[in-house]
Structure 1
Amino acid sequence: MDVIEWMRDSDPALRWQVERDLAGEPEEVWRATRARVPTEGFGARLLALQDADGQWAGGAFFPADFRDGEDGQPWTATTWSLKSLREWGVDASVLGDTAQRLDRNSRWEYEDLPYWGGEVDCCINGWTIANGAWLGADVSGIADWFLEHRMDDGGWNCDWVDGSTVSSFHSTLNALVGILAYEKATGASPELREARLGAQEYLLRRRLLNRLSTGEVVGRWVTAYAYPTRWRYTALRAIDYFLEANEFDGAEPDPRMAAAVEAVRAKRQPDGTWLQETHYPGREWFAVDVPPGEPSKWVTFTATRALRTWDLQRA
C-alpha cells in the first residue's frame, strides 16, 4: 500500500496537510485543497452547526443542555469546535465576526467569566489563547495569566485550584501548544517566551515519558495514540509540539526526545500505518476518524510527519 496516497484520499481537512508536509506538492496545490475545508466535508459540517450568537451547542465549554452523569466529556461546545476548525486549517476570515459575537454572548460556565478573558483551567486557557490569536481577539490577559500561574517546577496544572503544587503532563502540554500558537500569531513578551522554554524543559527532563522521581513511564496513556486528541497528553502529541517549536525557535531536536520518538516508531504497523488505539468517550457532532483497532489516517499522518521531521533534523 502507498501510505501517503492512502492518507491523501481523505477529507480536505487532512488532505491538504498530507499534500504540504508529506507529498511535497507545490504550494498552489495544497492551498487549493485547504481552501476547500470550509465548503466541503468536516469543516463545512461544523461551520453549519454554529449558533447565531457565535457559539456552538449554546455553551462555552459545555453544551447548554449538559447535565452531570453523561458518559464522558461532551466535545460539541464552542471551545472544542473552534479548536477543530483552527487545527483543520480554516482561515479565520471565514468565521467573520465570530470573535466579536463571542465577546458579547459567551460566558464560561465557571463563575460566568467573559469568554476571551479565559477561565481558571490551564488547558481551557491554552485552547482559548490559541483560538483567540487565530480569530484576532485580545487574549493578552490569558498570556499574563499563564505567567502568574506557572508552578515552581516549570509547568502548569489544571488542579492548582484544588491545591496542586506540581505540574501535570497534560496541562503543561496543552498550555505550551496554546502559548506557541499565540507567540507565532502575535509575538510574545520575553517573560512569556522564557516561561514557554522553561515548561519545555519540564517535559524534556522527563524525556516526554517518565516520572522524574522513579524514571518509570508516567502512565499507559502516554503511548496510546488517538485522534481526535482532545486534552490527553501522548508522546506523539509532545513530539509534534516540540518539532514545531524547534522550527519556530531555530533549535535542534533535543536528544532527550529520542526514547519518545522510538516509542512512536515501535507502534508502526508492518504496512506503514498506525492504529487508532482508543476513543475518548463523550458527545460529539460527528466522527472524524475510525474506531479503535483500525488504521487511522490522522494518527498515521502525525506519526509519519513526526518521524520524518525528527530524522531530517537529526541528520
Structure 2
Amino acid sequence: MSGERQVVCVTGASGYIASWLVKLLLEAGYTVKATVRNLNDPKKVEHLKALEGAKERLHLFEANLVEEGSFDSVVDGCEGVFHTASPVSLQVTNPQTELIDPAVKGTLNVLRSCKKVPSIRRVVITSSMASVMFNSRPLNSDVIVDETWNSDPLFCEETKQWYALSKSLAEKAARDFCEQNGLELVTLHPGFVIGPYLQPDLNLTTEALLNLIKEGQQMWPSGIYRYVDVRDVARAHILAFENPSASGRYCLVERVMHSFDALKILSGIFPSLNLPAKDNDAAIQDHPYHVSKEKAKGLKLDFTPIEVTLRDTVQCFKDKNVLQF
C-alpha cells in the first residue's frame, strides 16, 4: 500500500476503526484530512496527533454530520474519501434523531460535498453486517451469508433493530446518490469488531468483550458473534480504495462463533485469566452459520485468525489497565 503524495479524507477519525485507518494511511505515505466532532476534546484528537507522520501529513478539521456543507472544505483537493462517521448505539430512546438521521443525512451530506470535487475518484463507506443479515431468512450451520444478502427495513422496524435500520437506510441512500451522480462507491460490512484500540476510551464492541470476559455478560441472547479484527477492517478500507477493480459491497468477518468458544480460546492463551464458566455446552455450535470471505479475498485481504485478535485485545486491556490478571 503506497499513498505517496495522495490526499484522502477520513470522517469520524477519532473512532475505533477510523483511528486505525488514519494510522495505516499515514504509515503508507498518504496525507490525511480528518474530521472530528470537537477539536478541543483531547480524547478525540491527542491519540491521532501522536501517530507517526501526523505532524507532517495529518490535518484535523471539525465537522458536523447533520450540518449541510460541513465537509466541503475538508474533501476539497482529495482523491478519496473514507466515510466512517456514524452513530453506534444499541439502546436509544428516539431512533430517528439518535441513529437514523445522523446516519442517512450525514452520509448524504458527505456525498454532496464529494460531488463538488472532480479529483475524488472513489468513496469508501464503513457500513456493517447489520445492513446485510437482519431479515427473516433462517440461519443454521449450512447457511453461508454473502454480499447478496440484505437486511429488510420492515423486519428491522418490527423487531426494533434500530442500528441495523440506520445502516441499511444509509447504505441505500449512498448507493442511490452515487449511481445518480457518477461517484464510485465501495461499502464495507464488518461484523463484531475487536482488537487493540488506539483511542483512550473503550468503544461499544471492546467494552462488550471486556464485559464478557469479566462477567460472562452477553450483548445479545444468542451469544453468537461475527468476529473480525479492527486492523483487518482498516486495511480493507485502503485496499478498497487502491484496487481499481474493487466495487460494490464486501462482508468482513473472520469467524462466526459463540462467545463461550471465544472464552475457551482465551483460557488457553491466558491460563491466569479468571474467566466465567460456560453456562450451557449444548447451546454452543462450532459454526452456527458462515459468512463468505470470497469477495474480501479478492481485495487481497488476509484475515487475522481470531485467536490472534482475541489475544491482542486482551493484552491491550491489560496494557491499558482496564483488566488485571
Q: Does 1 or 2 have the higher relative contact order (CA < 8 Å, sep 6+)?
A: 2
TM-score, structure 2 length as denominator? 0.27
Give the structure with the higher percent strand. Answer: 2
Give the structure with the higher percent helix. Answer: 1
